[in-house]
Amino acid sequence: MKILFLGDVVGVSGRTMVFKSLLPIIKNKQINFVVVNGENSADSGVGLTEEICKDFFNCGVDVITTGNHVWDQKEIMPYIEKENKLLRPKNLHEPSPGKGFQVFSAKNGMKVGVLNLMGNVFMKKCEDVFEATEKFLKNNKLKEDYDFLIVDFHGEITSEKNAIGHIFDGKATLVVGTHTHIPTNDARVLKGGTAYQTDAGMCGDYDSVIGMNKDNSINRFLKKKSIKHYPATEQASLCGVIVDCDIETGLAKNIENFIYGGDLKNSN
């Protein structure tokens, strides 16, 4: 059983690379289940639309996760209510449209739980993520409620992500961070058997400032004349992780950092 998780897809560049590359990657890597964080995939680099979601599903994505930009394109609110394969952070203040956790069927028939969480530090206000995690784990068990569990932790700081990874160790197949758009070099299987990486990175143009036009972003930092943020538009790199899972335990046998194409020029 192999899971592919791709980090935040940014703008036209990122989603175009996903659309044209994902099906060959699924075939070549023998992937059974794909999760993509799509919260930056709109043309503006913030939010996502119903049409973009459908394009993701048509190119091989099984589940789309999100984060603090989930509502930036208002049309997504009615769509997320009816589309179970699109998740928002579970610990958003209720009532919020949509769901933050669902169980899905993989291509091989295995049951995969996907949980979307969001951090509390330097992020939009939401319920305490650690309390939400404890409540979730009391009510949901690996190999009882699902065969595998993927956790997308959308957060700003590494300490929150590290802590959540250790809390889920032995209770989830994969805990992976999103939001900061830079892939971290710490992919590993934790002592309890959970695959972990602090941030998956983004699927976007890395000749940029976290996916946004670099010149405009620098001008904003220098307080020079600039316009509203907009994405970089050259060829994207796809960044994420591939996890080889143990069917018997639901835990990870191996995790590898996955980078494909674009400026990062990984051999994958």
Give per-residue pLDDT as tens, 196-219. 999 999 999 999 999 999 999 999
Give per-residue pLDDT as tens, 70-100. 999 999 999 999 999 999 999 998 889 999 9
Give the DSSP per-residue string, 174-217.
EEEEESS-S--S--EE-TTS-EEES----BB-SSSBTTB-HHHH
- Say if residue 89 is preceded by a cis peptide, omega within 30 of 0: no
Cα–chain-centroid distance for residue 13?
17
Give per-residue pLDDT as tens, 131-186. 999 999 999 999 999 999 999 999 999 999 999 999 999 999 999 999 999 999 99
Q: Give the pLDDT confidence score for residue 266 in this predicted structure.
A: 61
Average pLDDT over residues 226-247: 94
d(CA 212, CA 159): 25
Q: Write out the two tokens for 98.
A: 């949509």
Average pLDDT over residues 19-45: 97
Query: Could you give the residue numbers annotated as active site?
Result: 69
Q: Which class is domain 2-264?
A: alpha beta
Average pLDDT over residues 33-56: 97
Question: What percent of the chain shows pLDDT beyond 90?
Answer: 92
At residue 265, does pLDDT exceed 80?
no
